[in-house]
A and B are shown apart, each in its own frame.
Chain A
Amino acid sequence: MKYILSFVLNGQPVDVLAEPTDTLLDVLREKLRVMSPKRGCDEGDCGACTVLLNGEPVRSCLTLALSVAGQEVMTVEGLSKNGKLHPLQRAFHEHYAAQCGFCTPGMILAAKALLDKNPHPTREEIVEAISGNLCRCGTYQEVLEAVQAVARGEYAEVKE
């Protein structure tokens, strides 16, 4: 049995047909073709499927799609504005904080959730915020440096 699921995705209202067993990750990737959340393990261990649900990082592979009805979901697709990359995206790019890139969308969103609440985190707070996201390429040091650079305001100005 399918239900109409309505929620806000990256600021836009969407309606999509979903089954009760569909996860949010299934709906985003297979139905809405939003591809930044990655299916790394599909069981909550890796963080590659991280999205923001009302600003909080959640594992979309463990979130039942119908449970997000009426709520706000954000993926990396929603970060850039008018073709301008988000400061975190620019910082990740310039610090080489993405190698294969598989963990990167989850890392960026985990970092965004942290900075939105705590714009000047300590090293320990950043490490803690991204410690649920596995990176097989081992980019942790570069991710840390990128987030620290954003926290210092180095990417505040929007580049034309």
Chain B
Amino acid sequence: MKKRGIGISCNTHPAGLKGGGDPSQALIRVKLDGTLDLVIGAVDIGQGCKTILRQIAAEELSVPLEAITLSNFDTDIGLMCTGTFASRVTFIDGNAVIRAARDLKDKIKRFVGSQLGVEPEQLEMADNRVFVRDNPEKGMSMAAIGAAANWGGAILVGTGAFTPGAGQDFDPETGKMTAIASLAFGACVAEVEVDTETGVVDVLKLVQVYEIGRAINPLLCKGQINGGSMMGISFALTENLFPYYPAVDFAPETFSDYILTTAADMPKEMIYDIVEVPHPNGPYGAKGFSEMTASAAPPAILSAIHDAIGVWITDYPATPEVILRALEAKSTS
């Protein structure tokens, strides 16, 4: 018999180490042709931080996205980044990039001021150029700035670093603390169909909402939500390193026995929404949230299974074997 059920979960996620102490650095320099090199330490594992950090630098410096080349490939000369984990890169590296960009902007204005014989405070930066606020005709394009600085023996480099300071005001009794980094919030509703003959669980529908401060790149956010959902369905239903833990028997060795979700496991309906409540410390209010998209679906799915067949599965994954054993235990008790 096929039985349907609905379950709900709520979750929250900090960006980076929740006790802080995980810095990142950024550096931006003006090249000969006036385009920019952005150097960071963070690794892009597909989440798109190379795009987002360039977007942030472009926004701060009023230059086109295409004018910024990002480099993060060399650990010898690369900058410090605690790592790409815990959804921290947009939040922490993003702040470092903002600081580096503001530092560079100051230096560019001082350089252009000396070239044009005006005070740096009188200058504005917009549309890929720097000009006198009250006399916009008078100014220099980024190309002219790049050439004048580099050929003139100057070097225009901005640097920035950001760290949520470690372990502040943590109350060991209650766990209460200031959210140094950010806390994102989410909710997920899953609808499942459980086949009581075979124990197979199908996720028919996922509806999710995430409060993420600010979606700097909505398409990348969508990818994180849908991708995380597929990982979540995997955790909930199939992936298991030690099926008979603590015994190591039948531990999977290949992808044919360590089962990942495929396109065929995708719910027919994956609906999501993003709510934006800007975080005071986030880059343009953004929070880190990607990782929580993988942890939202599993509890919702297990609750939905309970709704469908009246048994609580308390250990992931709810494989057909687990479901059938639980049903058997229920019918004999």
A16 to chain B, nearest CB (A): 29
11 A-B Cβ contacts within 8 A?
A: A45-B254, A96-B48, A99-B47, A100-B45, A134-B262, A135-B230, A138-B261, A139-B223, A140-B230, A140-B262, A140-B263
CB of B254 within 8 A of CB of A131, answer no
Of A28-36, A62-70, A80-88, A141-149, the segment with at least 4 beta carbons within 8 Å of chain B is A141-149
Known interface pairs A96-B219, A96-B223, A138-B226; A43-B263 also in contact (CB < 8 Å): no
Set of chain B residues within 8 Å of A40, measured between Cβ atoms: 255
A77 at the interface (CB under 8 A from B): no
Alpha-carbon distance between A144 and B231 when the two chains are bound, in angstroms: 17
Instruction: Type the 1/0 row for A32-49, where 1 means its CB is closer than 8 Å to any CB of B.
Output: 000000001101011000
Range for the number of chain A residues in contact with chain B: 20 to 34
Q: Are A99 and B266 in contact (CB under 8 A)?
A: no
Question: Are B255 and A46 in contact, CB atoms less than 8 angstroms apart?
Answer: yes
Q: Is the CB of A144 within 8 A of B254?
A: no
Output the least CB separation between A69 and chain B (Å). 29
* Interface residue ranges, B against A (CB under 8 Å): 45-48, 219-220, 222-223, 226-231, 254-256, 260-264, 266, 268, 270
B46 surroundings in chain A (CB, below 8 A): 98-101, 137
Known: A140-B230, A142-B223. A127 touches B264 (CB 8 A): yes
- Given the interface pairs A139-B227, A142-B223, the reply to whether A41 lies near B255 with Cβ below 8 Å is yes
11 further A-B pairs in the complex, CB-CB below 8 A; given A127-B266, A141-B226, A144-B263 = A41-B255, A96-B222, A99-B223, A127-B263, A128-B264, A132-B262, A136-B260, A137-B46, A138-B231, A140-B230, A141-B230
A25 at the interface (CB under 8 A from B): no
